[in-house]
Amino acid sequence: MSEMKPKIKKKRNHGITWRWIAGSLLWTILILIVGVIIISYSFRESYYNQARLSLLRIIEQVYSQVPASYQMDDSGRERALHSLVQDFSERDRFELMTVDTDGNILLTSSGFTYDSTEPMDDFFEAANSASRSAGRIGYALDGEHIISHTRLFHVPINNSIAGIRMVTSLRLVDAQLKETVYLLVLSCILILFFSIFSGVYFIRSIAIPIRSIGNTAKRITGGDYEVRIDNRYNDEIGELCDIINDMAVGLTDADRMKNDFISSVSHELRTPLTSIRGWGETLLTAGAGDALTFEKGMRIITSETDRLSLMVEDLLDFSRLQTGGISIQRVPADIIAELSEVVMVFEKRADGQGIEIIYNEPEESEPVFADRNRIRQVFSNLFDNAIKYTKRGGSISILVSKDDLFVTITVKDTGIGIPEDEVDRITEKFYRAKNSLPGSGIGLAVVNEIVSLHDGKLKVESELGKGTAISVSLPVLTY
Ligand code: ADP
C-alpha cells in the first residue's frame, strides 16, 4: 500500500509587490474619485447658497422700497413700483420683474417680455407659503441655469400686481464652480502621479533589491556558498548586500575548514590503524614463539592505540567546542608543578627528534585556580605544536614570568613560524595556516577556550621562518 504524502503548500510571492502597488493605486484612485465628488458637491452647495443669499438680500431691499398700503393709494404704489423696476440699478446682474396673481410677468427691468410658459416654481411656492417668499434654482426655457426668487405682497396692488420676482443667471457661479472642480481634479491627478512615482521608486529601490537579496539568501541556505549579490547600492540595502556577501564568504571558509578537518582527521586515523593492522597480521603469522617481534609489535600497537585515544579525545573536544560544552573543574593548583610534569613527558619526544628543550624550573610555586587536567592539556597542545613545527637542531624555550595579576608561561620555538596575516586566525576552529602540517586545526581553538574559561589570556607571536612564541597567562591565586 502506498503511503499518502501530505502536500506541502508553497507560498508563492512572485509579482506580489506589483500587485500590491496596483491594488493600492486602485484604492487611491477610488478614494480620490469619492473625495472629488464630495468636495465638488459641498463647493456647489456653498456657491449656490451664497447666490441664494445675495438674491434674497437684494429682493428684500427692493421690496422694502415699495411704499406700504397705509402710506399711499394703489395707483401711487403701482407707479412707485414701476419706477423701481425701470430704474433698477443692478439690472446688469439681476432682472427684476413684477408678476400678476396668476404668475404672469408684467414688467421687467430689462424691458423684455417673457414667455408666460417660463417655469415659475418659486412663484407658486411663494403663493402657497405663509412667508409669501420662495426661491428656486432651475433652468430657463432657453436652457440657461438660473436662480429666481419671488416675493409676494400680502395684498395685490390694484388686485393685479401680486409681487416682485428677481432672476439671475448662474453662468458665472457655474464657471467658477467648474474652475474649482478642474483645480481639484488636477490636484488629484498630481497626487495620483506622485503615488505612481513613489510606488515605482519603492519597487525599484527597495522591493526589487530585497527580492534579489532574498533569492540569493535562499541559494546560500540551499548550500550554494559561492553565490554573491551584485551590490549596486550605496544605502542601507547596499550594507545588507555586503553583510550577506560577507556571510557567504564566512560560510565558504567554514565549509572548507570543516571539509579539511574531516579529511585530515580521517587521514590521521588511517595511519595508526594501518600500523595496528599490519603488526596484528605480522604477530599472527610469527606466532607466540618469536618473543622479540612479539614485544616490538605489542609496543607499537599499544602506542598507536594511545595515539588513537588522543585523537578520539580531540574529536570529543571538537564536538564539545561546537556545542560550547567544554567544562572545567577549578581547584587551587601549582601551575609550575603541572608545567614541569608535561615538560618531562615531552622532553623524551623532543630528544628523539633532535630538538632541545630549555626550561629552568622556577623554585617557587605559582598558585592558580585551575582545572589541572585541562591546564596540562593546554601545555601538551603547545608543546605538541612546537615540536611538530620545529626542525631537528632547533630548540623550544619555556619561560615563566609574573606580575601582580597574572602568571605567564611562554612556549617559544625556533620552528617554521606562521605567515603574518594568519597569526590572528590560528586560534579559530579548524583554521590551519598555509604552511601547516597535517592536523585537525582545533588544538589551539581548544587551548583558547580553556584559557578563557580560566579568565586567562592567550597571545600568539610569530615570525615566518624564525619561530613562534605562544603565551598563556592565568590569574594568580590570592588568598
Ligand atoms: P593543528 O592540529 O593543525 O596543529 P592547531 O589548532 O593546534 O591545529 O594549530 C592551528 C594551526 O596553527 C596549525 O595548523 C599551524 O598552521 C599553526 N601553528 C600552531 N602552532 C604552531 C607553531 N608552534 N609553529 C608554527 N605554526 C603553528
- Within the chain, all domains assigned CATH 3.30.450.20 are found at 69-169
Given the CA of residue 417, which atom of ligand 1 is nearest to it? 25
Give pLDDT tens digits along the chain (479 positions): 344 444 444 444 545 566 777 777 888 899 999 999 999 999 999 999 999 999 999 999 999 999 887 888 888 999 999 999 989 988 888 999 999 998 888 889 987 766 555 668 899 999 999 999 999 999 888 888 999 999 999 889 988 899 999 999 999 999 999 999 999 999 999 998 998 888 888 887 888 888 888 888 899 888 888 888 888 888 888 899 899 899 888 888 888 877 877 877 787 788 889 999 999 998 888 776 778 888 888 999 998 898 788 778 777 877 787 777 788 899 999 999 999 999 998 998 899 999 999 999 999 999 999 999 999 999 999 999 999 999 999 999 999 999 989 999 999 999 999 999 999 999 887 778 888 887 767 789 889 989 999 999 999 999 999 999 999 999 998 76
Per-residue pLDDT at 93: 87
| C-alpha–C-alpha distance, residues 435 and 385, integer Å | 13
Query: What is the helix (H) or strand (E) element at residue 4, kind and residue range?
Result: none
Given the CA of residue 440, which atom of ligand 1 is nearest to it? 2
Can you name the residues that pair with 99 across neighbouring β-strands?
Answer: 105, 163
Given the CA of residue 411, which atom of ligand 1 is nearest to it? 23
| Residue 100, SS3 per DSSP | strand
User: What phi-psi label fits residue 275: left (phi over 0), alpha (psi between -120 and 50 degrees) or beta?
Assistant: alpha
Of 256, 387, 414, 432, the one to substitute when testing ligand 1's pocket (max ligand atoms within 8 A of C-beta) is 432
Q: How far is the CA of 471 from the centre of ligand 1 (A)?
A: 14
Q: How far is the CA of 441 from the centre of ligand 1 (A)?
A: 7
| C-alpha–C-alpha distance, residues 89 and 78, integer Å | 19
- Within the chain, all domains assigned CATH 1.10.287.130 are found at 236-321
Q: How many helices (H) and strands (E) does the chain have?
A: 10, 12
Per-residue pLDDT at 330: 92
Of 258, 317, 321, 385, the one to substitute when testing ligand 1's pocket (max ligand atoms within 8 A of C-beta) is 385
* Helix (H), strand (E), coil (C) string for 206-251: HHHHHHHHHHHHHHHHCCCCCCCCCCCCCCHHHHHHHHHHHHHHHH
Of the candidates 392, 381, 384, 385, the residue with the CA atom closest to the CA atom of residue 436: 385
Given the CA of residue 436, which atom of ligand 1 is nearest to it? 16
Q: How far is the CA of 389 from the centre of ligand 1 (A)?
A: 8
Q: How far is the CA of 314 from the centre of ligand 1 (A)?
A: 14
236-321: CATH topology: Helix Hairpins (1.10.287)
Q: Which residues does ligand 1 sit against, CB inside 6 Å?
A: 381, 385-386, 389, 413, 415-418, 426, 432-433, 436, 439-445, 468
Here the cell at position 254 is: 567554514
Q: Name which residue sits closest to atom 19 of ligand 1, judged by CA.
A: 385
Of 383, 436, 437, 447, the one to substitute when testing ligand 1's pocket (max ligand atoms within 8 A of C-beta) is 436
| C-alpha–C-alpha distance, residues 76 and 265, integer Å | 130
Task: Decide: 131 and 56 in contact? Cβ < 8 Å.
Answer: no
Q: How far is the CA of 468 from the centre of ligand 1 (A)?
A: 10
- Residue type, position 451, single letter: V
Note the CATH number of domain 328-475: 3.30.565.10
Give the angle subtended at the CA of 339 by the CAs of 334 and 344, to the nearest 5°: 130
Given the CA of residue 444, which atom of ligand 1 is nearest to it? 6
Given the CA of residue 381, which atom of ligand 1 is nearest to it? 7
Q: Name which residue sits closest to atom 14 of ligand 1, judged by CA.
A: 432
Can you name the residues that pair with 473 across neighbouring β-strands?
Answer: 408, 457
Per-residue pLDDT at 257: 75
Here the cell at position 338 is: 603541572
Q: How far is the CA of 388 from the centre of ligand 1 (A)?
A: 9
Given the CA of residue 438, which atom of ligand 1 is nearest to it? 3
Q: How far is the CA of 114 from the centre of ligand 1 (A)?
A: 115
Of 264, 418, 463, the one to substitute when testing ligand 1's pocket (max ligand atoms within 8 A of C-beta) is 418
Q: Which CATH number fits domain 69-169: 3.30.450.20, 1.10.3720.10, 3.20.20.330, 3.60.20.10?
A: 3.30.450.20
- Within the chain, all domains assigned CATH 3.30.565.10 are found at 328-475
Of the candidates 287, 263, 111, the residue with the CA atom closest to the CA atom of residue 255: 263
User: What phi-psi label fits residue 441: left (phi over 0), alpha (psi between -120 and 50 degrees) or beta?
Assistant: left
Q: Name which residue sits closest to atom 2 of ligand 1, judged by CA.
A: 439
